[in-house]
C-alpha cells in the first residue's frame, strides 16, 4: 500500500509541475506556458532590455478557462444584437444588403457554366 501512495504522490506532483499548454501570440511575440500550479509569461523587452518573464504561482484549472470562453459567446440572436458594435443606420444597411442578396442571385454570384472547352487536356 505504501508503494501505491508513493506512486500516486509522484504522479500528482508531476501533473502539477509539468506544463499542459504552451500558447504563442505571434503578433505581440508573447509566449505563455500553463501548468496546474504555475504560469509563465515571456514578453519581449523594450529597448536594450532582454525578455520579460512573469511567473504566477497558484492553482490554475484548465476547465476554468474553457468555461470563461463559453461565456463570451451566445447562441441567442436577441442577446447577440445587444452587444453588437453597429449603430442603427449600420444595422439597417446591413439588413437591407442581406435581404437583397437573398432575393435573387445575380450573374456575379451565380455559378458559371463549365463546358469541356474550359478544361486543358495537357494538365
Alpha helices in the chain (DSSP H): 2-17, 62-72, 77-82, 88-103
- Cα diameter, the chain: 79
Q: Give me the torsion for CA of 55, 61, 65, 66, rounded to 10°.
A: 150
Q: pLDDT at position 65, please?
A: 73
Per-residue pLDDT of the chain (123 residues; tens, 9 = 90+): 999 999 999 999 998 889 988 999 888 889 999 998 899 999 988 877 788 889 988 887 777 777 777 777 767 767 666 666 655 555 555 565 555 555 555 555 567 777 877 777 776
What's the first-to-final CA gap in the chain, in angstroms? 70
- What is the sign, positive or negative, of the torsion defined by CA atoms of 7, 13, 16, 17? negative
Q: pLDDT at position 42, please?
A: 92
What own/partner pairs with CB < 8 Å and gap ≥ 24 does 6-10 have?
none
Amino acid at each position: 500500500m505504501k508503494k501505491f501512495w508513493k506512486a500516486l504522490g509522484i504522479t500528482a506532483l508531476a501533473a502539477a509541475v509539468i506544463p499542459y499548454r504552451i500558447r504563442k501570440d505571434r503578433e505581440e511575440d508573447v509566449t505563455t506556458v500553463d501548468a496546474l500550479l504555475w504560469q509563465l509569461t515571456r514578453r519581449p523587452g523594450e529597448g536594450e532590455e532582454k525578455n520579460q518573464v512573469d511567473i504566477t504561482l497558484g492553482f490554475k484549472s484548465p476547465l476554468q478557462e474553457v468555461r470563461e470562453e463559453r461565456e463570451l459567446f451566445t447562441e441567442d440572436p436577441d442577446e447577440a444584437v445587444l452587444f453588437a458594435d453597429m449603430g442603427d443606420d449600420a444595422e439597417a444597411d446591413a439588413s437591407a444588403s442581406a435581404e437583397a442578396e437573398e432575393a435573387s442571385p445575380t450573374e456575379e454570384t451565380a455559378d458559371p457554366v463549365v463546358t469541356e472547352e474550359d478544361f486543358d487536356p495537357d494538365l
